Structure 1
Amino acid sequence: MSMTDLLKAEEIKKALDAFAAETFDPKKFFEMVGLKAMTAENVKRVFKVLDVDGSGFIEEEELKYVLKGFSQEGRDLTDDETRAFLKAADKDGDGKIGIDEFEVLVHE
């Protein structure tokens, strides 16, 4: 399954363009691509696309490349952006983002 099976390509492009030179804000990005308006079940489908290694978690190394999960044109997150994203989503403090933590962050 690809991200464009779940989200509109034009909304992904618009959101990626908005954060091309601006500091990445995951909540604002999720709203722009239409994730916030999706059901919890569909948000979890998006998570599974972003969980590249299929571990059930998005680890810090995967998080750095999360925008590429939406489109190959996506940029890498900076180390500061990656840490801020992880801190915002990692509610149990285990150093990675689980599927439920991801869904909570999207719908906050």
Structure 2
Amino acid sequence: MAMNSILNPDDIKKALDAFKAVGSFDHKSFFEIVGLKAKSADEVKKAFHVLDADNSGFIEEEELKFVLKGFAADGRDLTDKETKAFLQAADKDGDGKIGAEEFTALVRE
């Protein structure tokens, strides 16, 4: 499943353009602009599964680095600092990875 089957392609482009500058990524604003915040819990879980590239049931730090590419192939890689901030914001149980429930909670913030 591709992200553009869950979200509006124009919103995806708008969100990626808003955070094109290295070091500018903010997950709260990104989820708002891309339209994920307004989606149902089922749709947010579908987005989670697209981002869980290795199908482990978690988004690990290495997958987070490439999270914008999960929305569109031309998305940039997150910096190490952005990746760590994103992981820290979402990883509520401290296991070093983001589960589906943690991801849903982060989107809803």
TM-score per shorter chain, which class? over 0.9
Counterpart for residue 24 of structure 1? 25
Q: 4+ residue stretches of structure 1 with deviation over 6 A?
A: none
| Structure 1 unmatched runs, 5+ | none
Structure 2-normalised TM-score? 0.97
1:87-108 Cα offsets, whole Å, 9 max, x none, are: 0000000000000000000001
Counterpart for residue 6 of structure 2? 6
- Determine the C-alpha separation between the residues in 1 that align with 2:43 and 2:7: 10
1:39 aligns with 2:44: no
Code of the residue aligned with 1:51 in structure 2: it is D
Code of the residue aligned with 2:14 in structure 1: it is K
Number of equivalences: 108
1:55-88 Cα offsets, whole Å, 9 max, x none, are: 0000000000000000011000000000000000
Aligned-residue sequence identity (percent) comes to 68
Alpha-carbon distance, 1:23 to partner: 1.2
- Determine the C-alpha separation between the residues in 2 that align with 1:2 and 1:38: 15
- Determine the C-alpha separation between the residues in 1 that align with 2:62 and 2:43: 24
Q: What secondary structure, in the 3-state scheme, does the structure 1 residue paired with 2:94 have?
A: coil
- Determine the C-alpha separation between the residues in 2 that align with 1:27 and 1:102: 12
Structure 1-normalised TM-score? 0.98
